[in-house]
Amino acid sequence: MNNHQHVSPRYETFSQPTPLMMVLPFDIAHILYAMAVRVGFLKDSMLASARFSRDISALEKMSLGPWARRD
């Protein structure tokens, strides 16, 4: 039996060999997007949010290659 069978997905993100500092800029981009929506700089739209997340994820995969987080 594998010990990782009962581990939450959030923990698996941190247990992978990806250094936190490499993914930090992409997490900050998500936080800044959410803050911009919250204060009214950007329109609150589920479609726009999904597009932004998709684009940031693609940028992370293109930038970090095999070290990028898996969706």
- Per-residue model confidence as pLDDT tens digits over 14-40: 555 557 788 999 999 999 999 999 999
Q: Give the model's confidence band at 7: pLDDT under 50 very low, under 70 low, under 90 confident, else very high.
A: very low
The pLDDT score that the predictor gives to residue 67 is 84
- Give the mean pLDDT of 49-59: 96
Can you give the pTM of this predicted structure?
A: 0.69
Cβ-proximal residues to 47 (8 Å cutoff; 6+ apart), any chain:
none
Residue 11 has pLDDT above 60, yes or no: no
Cβ atoms 30, 38 nearer than 8 A: no
The SS3 assignment for 53 reads helix
b/e burial code for range 19-51 (CB count within 10 A of at least 16 → b): eeeebeebeebeeebeeebeeeeeeeeeeebee
Query: What per-residue confidence (pLDDT) applies to 1?
Result: 45
